[in-house]
Structure 1
C-alpha cells in the first residue's frame, strides 16, 4: 500500500517528465494487470478535485502518448519509485468436451509493482506476483488436490513470478519472449491506442486482451504428463472501470479501478492431464484501491509465511522474466509415467 505525498516532480530536460508536464500531466508499482492508485495532493489530501473543476480536455483517447501514460497509471504509479498493489480473486473452471463445465478450485493472488523512467519515452514496469489455488468450500490454500478427471491426488503448484517485468511505451508491446522461448518474428510497431468507453457522466471502461501461441516450456518428450503439447495457446482478458474525474485529473499518478480478469489456458501442468482434450479457464474479479482490505486473511497469512518478499515490488530490472509455466519447467521434475 502506498503513502500519500504532496511533492511535485522536478522537470528535467528532454525527459518524459518534461513532456508530460507540458501536456498537462504532472507526474510524480500489477500485476499483469492489477494495481492500486497513488494520489498526489492537490488542495486536499486525496488528489481529487471538485467535479466542476475537472478539465476533461486532458482525456486524449486517440493520442498514443496519452494512452501510454494512462496505461502506466493503471499498471503502476508515475510518481516513480512508489509501489502499487493489485489483487484478484475468482474460480478456476475445467472445460472438458462433452461434459458440463466444472468449478474446480478457487484462485486468489496479488502483486506489487513500481515504475522506472527509462528517459526515452518508455517506462519499466517491475513486478512480483503470487497466485494461490484454494479449496472452494473452506477457502484454504491447497497443498494437494483430487483431480476429478483422472481420479488422482496431485501436488498443487502455486504461482510465484519474481519478477514479471515489461516495458510500457507509446506503441503496442512486442509479444513476450518468456525467457527466450518465444522467437516469433516481431510485428511492426503500432501506435498504442486503447478502446476506452465513457459510461454516463462519471465512469470510463477499458478492455485489454492478449492472445499468445508460442513454444511450450514443457515439451511432451520430457514432460509427458504435464505437457499440453509442443505449443502453448493462451488468452488473457482484462476489463477496467475508472472514475472519469480520476482519469482526467493530472495529479492522480496511479489509478484506482475495479474490473475483471479472465484467462484461457491448457490444463495446468500439476493436474497431470497431458494432452487430454479440454482446457482451463480463470474467471476473476480484480481491483486496485488505496488499501489491501479486499485480500482474504487466509491468503495474507499464507503469503506472509511462504512468500514474504512478494509484499515489495522489485527496484531494478532483472532477468529472466518468466511466467508460471517457465518457472514450473525450472523448479519441478517430471511426474512418473502412469502404468
Structure 2
C-alpha cells in the first residue's frame, strides 16, 4: 500500500529525519555491510570486495529544514575471508593496487522543506506493520579527476552514479512522534571504477549492494571497525558540530593524495 505524503512538506521531512537520524539533534550512528561487484560489458560480473562502514550523523534544525552533519568511514574487505584489505591484486589488470579505504569528512546534506525540485517528498510504502521510505540520488557532475590529468585513474570527465536507499521502520514507532525511531536500511550504488583500481576509461562499473541499521550508539559498531577508526582517524567516532563543504569522496581524496606540486 502506497502511503501518500501528507501534503505538509515540513511534516514529511521531519518523518524522514526521524528515520534517518534524530530530529531533536542527538547524534546517531548507522552501520552497514555488503559487497561490491564489477560489471563489464564483455564479462563478469565479478565479486571484487566485501564492504563495511559507518556513518555518524547529527541533524540540525535550520530555517526551512535540516542540515545533516555527518562523517563516514568504510573499509574494503577480501570477498572470501572478509578481512580488511591492505593491498589488492586486481584481476582485471593482473597488477597489485594500494587500497584506499573511505574517510569522507564531511559527508553533509541539506534537507529542505522546499528545495530546487519543489516541496520535500518522502515516498513511502506500508508493508504489513512496516513503513518503507525510499530515496534515490542520481548524480552527474564534473569529475574531480579529469581524464587528461589522471588518465590511468579516471573513468571520465563526468562523474555519474546512482545511490539508491530504502529505509525500513515500524509503523507504530513512526506514529509515536518520537524524535528518533529505529530503522534498518538497504543501499545500492552504481558508480565508476574507483581511482585506485587503476582501470582508467575501461568500460564497466561498480555495483555496491549493502544493508544496515541505525544503531543504539557507537559502542554497537563491530569491534573491528571501531578499532580501525581508533587507529587511523578517531574523529570519525563523532559527528561534526558545524556545517562545512565541499563534501569529501573517494575521488576528491585521491586527488588530494596525488595532486601536482602546483596544487600543494
Asked if these proteins are the same fold (TM beyond 0.5), I'd say yes
Match of 2:64 in 1: 121
SS at match of 1:101: strand
Match of 1:21 in 2: none
Deviations 1:3-26 (A, max 9, x none): xxxxxxxxxxxxxxxxxxxxxxxx
Match of 1:222 in 2: 149
2:247 to 321, 324, 334: 321
Match of 1:181 in 2: none
1:74 is aligned to 2:2: no
Correspondences of 1:82-97 after superposition (within 5 Å)? 82-97=26-41
Correspondences of 1:1-339 after superposition (within 5 Å)? 61-80=6-25, 82-118=26-62, 120-172=63-115, 188-200=116-128, 202-250=129-177, 252-291=178-217, 295-332=221-258
Deviations 1:21-63 (A, max 9, x none): xxxxxxxxxxxxxxxxxxxxxxxxxxxxxxxxxxxxxx96442
Q: Distance in 1 between matches of 2:151 and 2:13?
A: 42
- With over 3 angstroms needed to count, the CA separation of the structure-2 counterparts of 1:322 and 1:293, relative to structure 1, is closer
Per-residue deviation, 1:328: 1.8
Per-residue deviation, 1:293: 6.9
Q: Distance in 1 between matches of 2:254 and 2:94?
A: 22
Per-residue deviation, 1:100: 2.5
Q: Is the 8 A contact 2:28 2:217 kept in 1?
A: no
* Count of aligned pairs between the two proteins: 257
Per-residue deviation, 1:171: 2.6
**Large movers: runs of 4+ above 4 Å:** 291-294
SS at match of 1:141: coil
Q: Distance in 1 between matches of 2:50 and 2:220?
A: 15
Deviations 1:52-107 (A, max 9, x none): xxxxxxx9644211111112212321222x21101111001000112121110111
Q: Distance in 1 between matches of 2:203 and 2:117?
A: 36
Per-residue deviation, 1:142: 1.0
SS at match of 1:139: coil
Per-residue deviation, 1:234: 0.4
Deviations 1:178-231 (A, max 9, x none): xxxxxxxxxx4411112111112x211111111111111001111111000111
SS at match of 2:44: coil
Per-residue deviation, 1:241: 1.0
Q: Distance in 1 between matches of 2:147 and 2:57?
A: 34
Unaligned runs of 5+ in 2: none
Q: Distance in 2 between matches of 1:67 and 1:293?
A: 30
- With over 3 angstroms needed to count, the CA separation of the structure-2 counterparts of 1:249 and 1:240, relative to structure 1, is same
RMSD across aligned positions (CA) = 1.8
SS at match of 1:220: coil
Q: Is the 8 A contact 2:12 2:121 kept in 1?
A: yes
Q: Which has the larger radius of gyration?
A: 1
Unaligned runs of 5+ in 1: 1-58, 173-187, 335-339
